[in-house]
Amino acid sequence: MSLLNVTRFIRILLILVIVISPYKLFSKNIDLNYDIEWKTLNIAKLIWSANLDDNRYTIKNTISSDGIFSSMYPFELTSQTNGSIVDDSFSPSHFHYISQSRKKNKSVSINFDELGLINDYEIIPKPDDFYIDNFNQLKSQKLFTDPISQLFEYFLHQKSSNKTIIDGRRIYDLHAENIEGKTFNENSSINFKGETLGLKITFPYYLSLWKDSKDDKNTIKYVIIYYSVFKNTNIPVQIVLKTNRSKIFMNLSSYNIVN
């Protein structure tokens, strides 16, 4: 598997892990750790931290290479989203994403207004002017949300903002459906034993912003999330990402929840 495909999968995992969401909003801190595996190899670790304080939220993620990938393909991905919660809707005000690897560094910063229009953005390195011009036209025609805010809203309140999701590199729609859960027993390799519920996520619409669509196609078939309740909080126990060629597993290793 190439570094490009691995980092693309990790970006999707970074986006999807935020379906971990609390039932009650009044001041809660959640810290989670996951081991990310590909073909039984540990390729990365995720540290995920969220703070929900009344009507404000901040969510941070860090994913870094692990095991043999630390020397072969060292990388670190971080993101942070801040916003407000109004009538059960998560409205981002700022979304920031940084990707660092041996070959290149990338940074995306997006500011939203209360409706979901993009006030301003910064992409480093700067894309070609052709793509910038196309996006400047597109962003005035749609209301946007970031992937983290949208998934929180869906999981907490089973509702959609009906906005286009933007992560700074691509825009897409998210479709989620409940599926049968899975039982993890003492033979499981993850730090959980018991029953889970299931959620299947697909991407019916996907568009690359800064590349030709033929050079940046969505290779993700689906993502299945098995989750359970810890301290009145839904936490993914395992996330399975199925691509055209392989599967990647993200397994819960530890957690801490403070109400």
Q: Of 210, 223, 250, give the one whose Cα is nearest residue 32.
A: 250
The predicted-structure confidence for 194-248, as pLDDT tens digits, reads as follows: 999 888 888 888 888 888 777 777 788 998 989 888 888 788 899 899 998 899 9
Locate the DSSP E strands across 39-169: 41-53, 56-65, 75-86, 89-101, 105-112, 118-124, 144-145, 164-166
Q: Of 166, 257, 173, 179, give the one whose Cα is nearest residue 225.
A: 179
Q: How many residues does the chain have?
A: 259
**Tokens at 153, concatenated:** 């809203």
pLDDT at 22 over 50: no
Give Cβ neighbours of residue 178 (< 8 Å, ≥ 6 apart).
197, 198, 199, 200
The predicted-structure confidence for 30-81, as pLDDT tens digits, reads as follows: 888 999 999 888 999 998 888 888 889 998 989 999 988 888 889 999 999 9
More confident residue, 153 or 26: 153
Supply the pLDDT for residue 249.
Answer: 94
Confidence of residue 89 (pLDDT cuts 50, 70, 90): confident
**Tokens at 14, concatenated:** 């970074």
For tokens 């989670």, the residue is: 32
Q: How is 135-169 classified by DSSP, letter by letter? A: HHHHTTT--EE-HHHHHHHHHHHS-----EEE-SS
Lowest mean pLDDT among 19-23, 148-152, 183-187: 19-23
Mean predicted lDDT score pLDDT of the chain: 84
Segment 131-158 mean pLDDT: 82
**Tokens at 186, concatenated:** 């003492």
Q: Do the Cβ atoms of 23 and 53 come closer than 8 Å?
A: no
pLDDT at 189 over 80: no
What global pTM score does this model have? Answer: 0.82
